[in-house]
Structure 1
């Protein structure tokens, strides 16, 4: 058997390395092949992650590396969706290019709802399929229905236990085996990666070390994704610097998202100058967790980056979120897959709700993270998570008019006939009924005019 691990970031490589080191993926004696893809918005102007320092150390757990992106170029992996009649041809091509022979295949893919994961699962039509998820997305529901032919072959979900004890909702409707990776293993893998990298090169650093009292600002490409406007993202960057300054920190290091455009850097530089804060731009492809180890910041600030949770739970660094209230209102439709990550970050950092493993026996249901995530997930994907409805109803009853209502839209609750929605008497009238009322009003008006 050949085990194919499809990855698009260095972080994923390190997460898989941690899973292998921790024996979550025990040694089977089968050949393990790392399959590279590039999901950058503009891959032509970004450095491929496999050319980054430290990649070789993470990839050494695998027998060899192949590159799907170069094979598909100039088409991007996310655009890879072969026609049904071409699947056999693609399987022959990939088996030949990757030297798979006729051996059976076990696929470990990310983002099972989209290509290239779906494409590879369709091409290798008899392969077992496992999903590896390294971020907060694993705690949210499955975004798109998984084709039946793929769902029948789903084996397991491998995820990093970033929020201690929180159970994923991804693929819950298919009941895969859950394989949590201990955060301590991820930290050891990140420390190994750190040792392989040169010290951070910051213009204002003394002996390549950032000054004490530094805040690490982690950018996200929200405007490029259409979640925020360019002006709103500029305001978000300003809020990051203000959050650091409010804690007396006058030196910030900004790490742009690898897929973000140059506009993000310009906006944060302008905001820092206006606020009188010294700012360094860190042009490094190293994961944020490696930067945290070298920089040793006093504070990590972002919007809803996964690194906020690793800062808090892996490295015991203070973390702060900005813009989550805006995003909870702005994300559209309600099913937007970023909703659960935003909800978790807001609940933990803004509402001070504890991770499940830290809950006390006397913690009320309204202050528990697991039922909150399950209720939001059900509201996002009620059809696929029908079994979760009773717990969602219980949770919604428990919060009544509590601040946790911010995570739910009244219109959504009304549509799903859940607690907190409008009753039928208060809700909008059916269109046919409105039409009848309108015609009746017209007749009364005509009668009044005639008389």
Structure 2
């Protein structure tokens, strides 16, 4: 054990355990901070806590770094050390680098020495365990217990790819925010990991810390007169960067948001680009605001959208399917509206794309911006079976137990209002209501029981 960390002769308590928390966004780091404050990772005594930060942007050097975000220092203060994963694996990209399986013991010894954690047990708290850098981390620390935290709506959808059994068996919990009260996460349910809520009061307290730290910067963007504070916030994403929409289509989407907010009576509006969106901004939104005779403020600093909610107290938040929309509703009581979800649902490929459940939640639950300000949010009781049905169709092998419920829901509900949540070809291949009629041979091939019998027979014949 490194004497520079814990020295028994100096009277410092011996290190009993290390906890490594991996984060790539301030929202995710805030979720971890709230979980720590709520005692969900146990007492700090005898534990070395490391915040391992990474930038997963396509060109990390050109993106806003986590340490540049307002509120970062307050969150980082909860940890004994902050380490940049990008620097550790330089010049490799965090989304791409992972060690060869035979090299993992060497990498673990190297990190234990470099990070001052000796030979003590290690716990990992990671996001997006299916991909790097989280996947690399859990592979290197192959004997460590794993806690997955979900910082957005993706927690309600199924796991993107089935985890190898040795990794899946180590996942203890899925820590998540209560963004849609009453909806239970599907993420990692197939591993037996238990979902656990991060308390609302702990998370809102962390958001308050962040907004206090960012207050001066936010106000520097805003008009000096209190009565001119923005009453609507428009949320940008990075759909063109993900190649879901073209740059022009995404710009048109922003203009639709603005025009919808103007039609709802808002005269002072903020546009908040996504922190990891490419640094490009055309004049289309400015021109639309000028044509409508409204004030538009673009807040493109290193800020969470939630700081705008806390300081400006807007009456409306508009977006496509950003998690920040549901944060506005769940934690600030702000009305929210959507636009563009139908287009993105049509473009999203493959069907099991992890954005499908967040899109489905927002499209089904959140009022359309064009419907007016009196439209109400849909009931969660109606949303739950839809999400479970979409989740089954996305990952039928992981969630065979949902098939019967999915069949019943589709039989009763598939129609013009719900058809765009599914692909006819997908329903057909799964033999579900809403798909095309299958020939007898195709129906037999689609039947999981028949497939198991055929595979068993083939094995016996080998």
TM-score range, shorter chain: 0.7 to 0.9
Determine the structure 1 residue equivalent to 2:411.
Answer: 397
Determine the structure 1 residue equivalent to 2:23.
Answer: 7
Alpha carbons 1:204, 1:210 under 8 Å: kept: no
Task: Provide the rounded CA distance (Å) in 1 between the counterparts of 2:282 and 2:117.
Answer: 43
- Trace 1:396-415 onto structure 2 (pairs within 5 A): 396-401=410-415, 403-415=417-429
1:104 to 115, 121, 129: 121
Secondary structure of the residue that 1:79 maps to in structure 2?
Answer: coil
Task: Give per-residue Cα distances to partners, 1:108-162, cap 9 Å, x unaligned.
Answer: 1100110011111111111111101110010011001212221121111111111
Determine the structure 1 residue equivalent to 2:452.
Answer: none
More divergent stretch after superposition (410-419 vs 45-54): 45-54
More divergent stretch after superposition (76-85 vs 17-26): 17-26
1:418 to 426, 432, 451: 432
- Trace 1:4-403 onto structure 2 (pairs within 5 A): 4-27=20-43, 29=45, 30-199=47-216, 200-203=218-221, 205-206=223-224, 211-212=228-229, 214-264=231-281, 266-350=283-367, 352=376, 354=378, 356=380, 359=381, 368-401=382-415, 403=417
Alpha carbons 1:202, 1:210 under 8 Å: kept: no
More divergent stretch after superposition (382-391 vs 37-46): 37-46
Task: Give per-residue Cα distances to partners, 1:155-200, cap 9 Å, x unaligned.
Answer: 1111111111210011111110211112232112111222223331
The two structures have a TM-score, normalised by structure 1, of 0.87
More divergent stretch after superposition (165-174 vs 391-400): 391-400
Task: Provide the rounded CA distance (Å) in 1 between the counterparts of 2:321 and 2:440.
Answer: 35
Q: How far is the alpha carbon of 1:8 from its aligned partner?
A: 0.7
Task: Provide the rounded CA distance (Å) in 2 between the counterparts of 1:96 and 1:43.
Answer: 27
Over 3 Å counting, the alpha-carbon distance change for 1:145 and 1:425 in structure 2 is closer
Q: How far is the alpha carbon of 1:407 from its aligned partner?
A: 1.2
Alpha carbons 2:316, 2:335 under 8 Å: kept: yes
Q: How far is the alpha carbon of 1:276 from its aligned partner?
A: 3.7
Structure 1's consecutive aligned runs of 4 or more residues displaced over 6 angstroms after TM superposition are 426-430
Alpha carbons 2:431, 2:438 under 8 Å: kept: no
Task: Provide the rounded CA distance (Å) in 1 between the counterparts of 2:62 and 2:332.
Answer: 32
What residue ranges of structure 2 are gaps of 5+ in the alignment? Answer: 1-16, 369-375, 445-462
Task: Provide the rounded CA distance (Å) in 2 between the counterparts of 1:152 and 1:97.
Answer: 28
What residue ranges of structure 1 are gaps of 5+ in the alignment? Answer: 360-367, 431-451
Over 3 Å counting, the alpha-carbon distance change for 1:429 and 1:164 in structure 2 is closer
Over 3 Å counting, the alpha-carbon distance change for 1:409 and 1:196 in structure 2 is same
Secondary structure of the residue that 1:413 maps to in structure 2?
Answer: helix
Task: Provide the rounded CA distance (Å) in 2 between the counterparts of 1:124 and 1:222.
Answer: 34
Task: Provide the rounded CA distance (Å) in 2 between the counterparts of 1:306 and 1:321.
Answer: 12
Q: How far is the alpha carbon of 1:349 from its aligned partner?
A: 0.8
Task: Provide the rounded CA distance (Å) in 2 between the counterparts of 1:419 and 1:339.
Answer: 20
Aligned pair count reads 419
Task: Give per-residue Cα distances to partners, 1:76-113, cap 9 Å, x unaligned.
Answer: 21122111222122112211221121111111110011
The two structures, once aligned, show a CA RMSD in angstroms of: 2.3
Task: Provide the rounded CA distance (Å) in 1 between the counterparts of 2:256 and 2:147.
Answer: 39
Determine the structure 1 residue equivalent to 2:449.
Answer: none
Over 3 Å counting, the alpha-carbon distance change for 1:289 and 1:373 in structure 2 is same
Alpha carbons 1:33, 1:64 under 8 Å: kept: yes
Task: Give per-residue Cα distances to partners, 1:37-66, cap 9 Å, x unaligned.
Answer: 112232212331123332121222222222
Task: Provide the rounded CA distance (Å) in 1 between the counterparts of 2:403 and 2:377.
Answer: 22
